[in-house]
Amino acid sequence: MLPENRLSLISLDPPEIYINNRKLTSRDWKSRKALEILIYILIKSWRHKKAVDKHELLLDLWAPTSDRMESARMVRNNMMTRLRKIFVECKVDMLPKRPDDILFNWESGNYYLDIENFSKSIKDAKALLKKNQKEAARLKLESALSLVRGDLAEGFEGFYLESDRAYFSSLKHDADEMLGSI
């Protein structure tokens, strides 16, 4: 069970999102595109805790022609409004309004990301192996690998996901190899 008022994203599988331990469903999203936008924002920004450019999001998720740009911009803005309404349950402004970009409120600490725990556990295991603490490293690696139930954002497609999928696939491969060598 996770702390209250918390957003949790399980993304190393088909994505599941929880707020206050309640799994969000299609009723909450009303549109798969709203869920895709949230996944995009979280995955694109989590490693560097940087904002996502609104125009880049538009091009990556809609690839509109110049004559459809304004229509796509309106849809994007409507989806962002929908996401902000969902996050009201978090009691913290998780997607504050900004003019040119979208910044998830990482500083709130009001979130759980399996990808973050996965990466941290592998990093910790590497440090433990350098200290020859094999049993502790094994536990960290097993913990990390238990989070992986599929590809990153399985069921979603897009060029924007490819580099992150490759990154997590590489981390998983490294963890499997390290575990095999213990």
pLDDT one-digit tens code per residue, 84-135 = 888 887 777 888 888 889 988 888 888 899 999 999 999 999 999 999 999 9
35 versus 91: the higher-pLDDT residue is 35
76 versus 175: the higher-pLDDT residue is 175
Q: Does 124 lie in the same domain as 68? A: no
The single-letter code of the amino acid at 96 is P
Dist CA 43 CA 29 (whole Å): 18
| pTM, rounded to two decimals | 0.86
Residue 97 domain-assigned? yes
Dist CA 153 CA 103 (whole Å): 20
**Residue labelled with tokens 């999001």:** 57
Q: Does 22 lie in the same domain as 87? A: yes
Query: Among 112, 145, 166, where does a domain finish?
Result: 112
Q: Does 52 lie in the same domain as 15? A: yes
Q: Which among 97, 151, 117 is positioned nearest to 46, based on CA atoms?
A: 117
Per DSSP, what are the bridge partners of residue 19?
7, 22
User: With 70 as the cut, is the pLDDT of residue 2 above it?
Assistant: no
CA distances from 60 to 20, 48, 92, 110 (A): 30, 19, 28, 27
Q: Does 159 lie in the same domain as 137? A: yes
pLDDT at site 125: 98
pLDDT at site 5: 59
Which residues are CB-neighbours of 28 under 8 A, at least 6 positions away? 86
Beta strands in the chain (DSSP E): 7-10, 16-19, 22-23, 52-53, 101-102, 111-113
Output the furthest CA–CA distance in the chain (Å, rounded): 61
Domain residue limits at 139:
114-181
